[in-house]
A = this chain, B = another copy of it.
Amino acid sequence: MKLYSYFRSSASYRVRIALNLKSLPYEYAAVHLLRGGGEQLSADYRRICPDGVVPSLVDGEAVLQQSLAIIEYLEETHPNPPLLPDTAVDRAYVRAIALQIACEIHPLNNLRVLKYLKHELGVSDEAKDAWYKHWLDNGFAVLEARLASDSRTGSFVYGDTPTMADLALVPQVFNALRFKVDLQPYPTIQRIYDEAMRHDAFVRASPEQQPDAE
């Protein structure tokens, strides 16, 4: 398999964790989101991924996009270790947490949106940082309340082994730390992040460990 990835991309990071947890070796192809107006928009990369987004996973003839769709694919084609629970209700719970992060926090905080705020709307750096923090805090407050009260929470989001929800959570925490968001109001989130960072599959997937890290 070959993964087109950018070291700091949260969506790429999710897939790297999944590949590591499932012990699937892969070739790393760096796509620099800032260099040359964004290599993801280059003609070369658009031949792989017309959408011009990372990550893309190439598996034989198949070229797959969208991190959560890729993770579901890996789960179906390489079921062990599982990244989803055994029951439909619990799978829905884990998927809902992954989607809350992927649909309600991350899209508002990614690079192209922050760029639009700055360049098209002329928003100050201060207001841009407040925007970032607003959506992050909104989402993390909801998530912290849920994780702190749900009996399914263990050393990871669901029990004591990583699921798809942790694959979404850990990159979002990394991102928040990079933007200097105070995590003190989110002790359960912080604890799960710290736990994940003791696991080799998460450490090897982290941005600073990638070949294109700066």
Q: Which residues of A contact B (CB under 8 A)?
A: 50-53, 62, 64-66, 68-70, 72-73, 76-77, 88-89, 91-93, 95-96, 99-100, 102-104, 106-108, 113, 116-117, 120-121, 123, 127, 130-131, 134, 142, 145-146, 149
Contact = CB atoms under 8 A, between A and B. Distances in A.
B96 A66 contact: yes
Task: Give the interface centre of A66, A104, A130 by most chain B CB atoms within 10 Å.
Answer: A66
B116 A131 contact: yes
A166 B142 CA distance: 29
A189 B212 CA distance: 37
Determine the main DSSP class of A at the interface with B.
helix
B96 A64 contact: yes
B99 A68 contact: yes
Contact of A92 (B69, B107, B113): B69
Contacts of A149: 50
Contacts of A64: 89, 92-93, 96
A134 B116 CA distance: 10
Contact of A95 (B51, B72, B134): B72
A100 B51 contact: yes
A99 B11 CA distance: 12
The 3 closest A-B pairs by CB, nearest first: A69-B95, A107-B107, A66-B96
B100 A103 contact: no
Given A73-B91, A89-B62, A50 B146 contact: yes
A126 to B, nearest CB: 11
A95 B66 contact: yes
A64 to B, nearest CB: 5
Nearest to A64: B92
Contact of A107 (B89, B103, B117): B103
A101 B143 CA distance: 23
A142 B69 contact: no
17 contacts: A50-B149, A51-B146, A53-B104, A65-B96, A66-B96, A68-B95, A68-B103, A69-B95, A69-B96, A72-B91, A72-B92, A76-B88, A77-B88, A107-B107, A120-B127, A120-B130, A121-B131
